[in-house]
Amino acid sequence: MVPASSAPPARPRFFGPLPSVGVWTALGLTRAQFFAITLGSIALFVFVGGPVWAHVHDRHAARLAWSYAAIPVAVAWALRRNGSLGLGRLLAASGVIALLKLVATAGVLAMLGIGR
């Protein structure tokens, strides 16, 4: 039997490669909510008006408008569901997700543009 004092220190629990505590925790979201909102907004960008790979060199105003407009709505819903809705958290979480989405969608467009 191992004495309690020699037990290893508590570490964040992992599910796959992602920790259960992260930036989403500070924003008042669960990990699932954070990634669902981020991936959902990216999916809106990719598929609004047809697949982005079929329209790489077109204007993307509608894609951008819908994909960014969905972020604060989804964040507000998630924060309200979690019981932590507030203007500061809404702005912070929406801003972090919007920046992450910006980087991801710019990368997608760059890769598609290089491939053509």
Are 41 and 101 a contacting pair, CB within 8 Å?
A: yes
In a domain, 88, yes or no: yes
pTM here is: 0.77
In a domain, 9, yes or no: no
In a domain, 48, yes or no: yes
Q: What's the confidence (pLDDT) of residue 19?
A: 67
pLDDT means per 10 residues in the chain (116 residues)?
57 60 84 94 90 80 92 96 94 95 90 74
In a domain, 5, yes or no: no
Q: What's the confidence (pLDDT) of residue 56?
A: 76
In a domain, 54, yes or no: yes
Helical ranges in 30-60 per DSSP H: 31-47
CA-to-CA distance for 46 and 60, rounded, in angstroms? Answer: 10
Give the tokens for residue 25.
């925790």
* Domain span including residue 61: 21-115
CA distances from 52 to 26, 39, 69, 70, 103 (A): 33, 15, 18, 18, 16
In a domain, 16, yes or no: no
In a domain, 12, yes or no: no
- Domains in the chain: how many in total? 1
Are 37 and 18 a contacting pair, CB within 8 Å?
A: no
In a domain, 14, yes or no: no
